[in-house]
Structure 1
């Protein structure tokens, strides 16, 4: 499914959610005010706060389609994270204000009129509407594999539970339990604050590049180890970016294989992670011939130009060297291994191997030379 199709599906679901939340918000606040229910008014404010989440989903879905540019090579997903933190802080502020107002009414013993039955009816409508929204949005979220839309679906399920709490608090007050409606308003406000706090914490965790949970990391490690040619895995690092997961990993391979084969193995690791972990969108695979997690024993060895200069100086008079067909260097375990290919017309192969060993291994950084005849 291409990005435009995913965006259109998410946009459709979010517009439906926003329309229903707007209608519910007006109904709850008006009926709550006329029906004397602080809890229903608080729930109505909560419904309007859901519009912020809906707007965030639309904005994030649109931003997700925007391609990376020169100034933003990783894309623009952090905008979604910043937006979610701002919305979370607004939710916390709304929740605290509602609690303050309700406590003021109780503290000053202000008259709290008895709610009427219309409040119960609206609470029941709200439960049904939010449960339907949950099922509708979750279906689309699973179809387009959108974690953001899935989170919004669960948000609606939480709103249904909140409306159940409104129903119970109003019903209790109608049955003669004083201040139960006000207590319900405080509980709903706490739900709003909790939701805002969790959203803010999730956004902050993403901004500071928090890794995926240990269970998911273990699954990724297992996926990589199943790739043919991978000897070991280390420095597996992950971070979130706008709901997507970015992965950096070092894979240990046979040190004697070619560069192209090592690159092929890294491509297979890339494909395996993308296919088996849908939220993984960016993967950097570093191919290691040795485990460099603790130490890098080969990092200070001389480079190819220095080695070639030394070989040309010290091996120029050895049989076949001037006619060599290629020299390949292997940096491994703090030493250099040399593969030297010379014409097979050169005689006395066994003797030549011994001769080259005696000369080349005089270099303190060269451990062994391997002669190949072609």
Structure 2
């Protein structure tokens, strides 16, 4: 677990450093180069700093061991951070959309930018796509919801820079409407990402279970354990990037308590050996004389 969190923390710290430099560069380029779009894009990058700090805080909290008040650990801190980041994304999306609509009806307020904001936009796109690629790769590897949310925030910033670039170029060649129109399209993309992350995080906070396919895979594994006649019940819940499983199995009622306990241990070991990110498995023993075909029930 520590190695997993260390990878997430390392990626997040690098993101914070890059975003601080990028934010200053973009805002100064927007001011010097007379580009409202680039100033707004710089502010969007500043929001990345805030969200990355949130991910860092989530990682630190997640490292804390189980205690008397949190018997199941602190991994849900990651999901909570992911939920918070999704709200930030939605806010940023609405803000971009609102400002874009205002500019669409006030084109006379848009100044013709210089080449400096174009350079800033290109640098931003390259860096943000690099950050997205690295962050999403680590997020998938360690199954971190907060890091995935942060990765998509990098992608949203890249899209914002693309919109700013198109707007700047459009403004320079005489099509001022392209600036706010591009911003409005970016806002829709940002909102979609934010809402998707919000839905996933909310489900995990509400103890969302694993997929039907994952459940069937685990049940098939359980039925390969000698002595298991049937899986009576199966419950699962997400806990940050980890999974808790509570299940009941049917065994021969004539075996000893020790033998039943041994079968339960084998079931637990089988699941943990074959399924990633399992934190705990609770196995309850029921008695039944007949071995059922699990797939028929």
- Quickly name the TM-score band, shorter chain normalised: 0.7 to 0.9
Correspondence for 2:64:
66
Deviation by residue 1:54-111 (Cα, 9 ceiling, x = unmatched): 2232222222221111121112233333333333323322332332223223224442
| Cα distance, 1:117 vs structure 2 | 2.1
Q: Does the C-alpha gap of structure 1 residues 108 and 172 become closer, same or farther in structure 2, counting only changes over 3 Å?
A: closer
Residue 144 of structure 2 is aligned to residue 147 of structure 1 = yes
Distance 2:31 2:252 in 1: 73
| Cα distance, 1:266 vs structure 2 | 1.6
Distance 2:10 2:211 in 1: 31
Deviation by residue 1:222-242 (Cα, 9 ceiling, x = unmatched): 222232322222422211112
Correspondence for 2:221:
223
Distance 2:48 2:237 in 1: 27
Number of equivalenced pairs: 288
Distance 1:85 1:274 in 2: 28
Correspondence for 1:130:
128
Is the 1:42–1:185 contact (alpha carbons within 8 Å) kept by the matching residues of 2? no
The runs of 5 or more residues in structure 1 that have no matched partner are 292-374
Is the 1:39–1:188 contact (alpha carbons within 8 Å) kept by the matching residues of 2? no
TM-score (norm 1): 0.68
| Cα distance, 1:15 vs structure 2 | 0.7
What secondary structure does 1:247 align onto? strand
Correspondence for 1:49:
47
TM-score (norm 2): 0.84
Deviation by residue 1:177-220 (Cα, 9 ceiling, x = unmatched): 33111111222233333333223222211122111222322322
Is the 1:40–1:185 contact (alpha carbons within 8 Å) kept by the matching residues of 2? no
What secondary structure does 1:114 align onto? coil
Measured on the aligned residues, the alpha-carbon RMSD in Å equals 2.7
Where is the helix percentage greater, Structure 1 or Structure 2? 2
Is the 1:78–1:242 contact (alpha carbons within 8 Å) kept by the matching residues of 2? yes
Distance 1:134 1:105 in 2: 29
What secondary structure does 1:31 align onto? helix
Correspondence for 1:241:
239
Is the 1:85–1:203 contact (alpha carbons within 8 Å) kept by the matching residues of 2? yes
What secondary structure does 1:177 align onto? coil
The structure having more radius of gyration, on CA atoms, is 1
Correspondence for 1:121:
119
Correspondence for 2:295:
none
Which structure's relative contact order is higher, taking Cα pairs within 8 Å and 6+ residues apart? 2
Q: Does the C-alpha gap of structure 1 residues 59 and 89 become closer, same or farther in structure 2, counting only changes over 3 Å?
A: same
Deviation by residue 1:257-279 (Cα, 9 ceiling, x = unmatched): 22222222221221222222222
Correspondence for 2:7:
9
What secondary structure does 1:68 align onto? coil
Correspondences of 1:309-324 after superposition (within 5 Å) = none
Correspondence for 1:357:
none
My pick for the range that moved more, 264-273 or 187-196, is 187-196
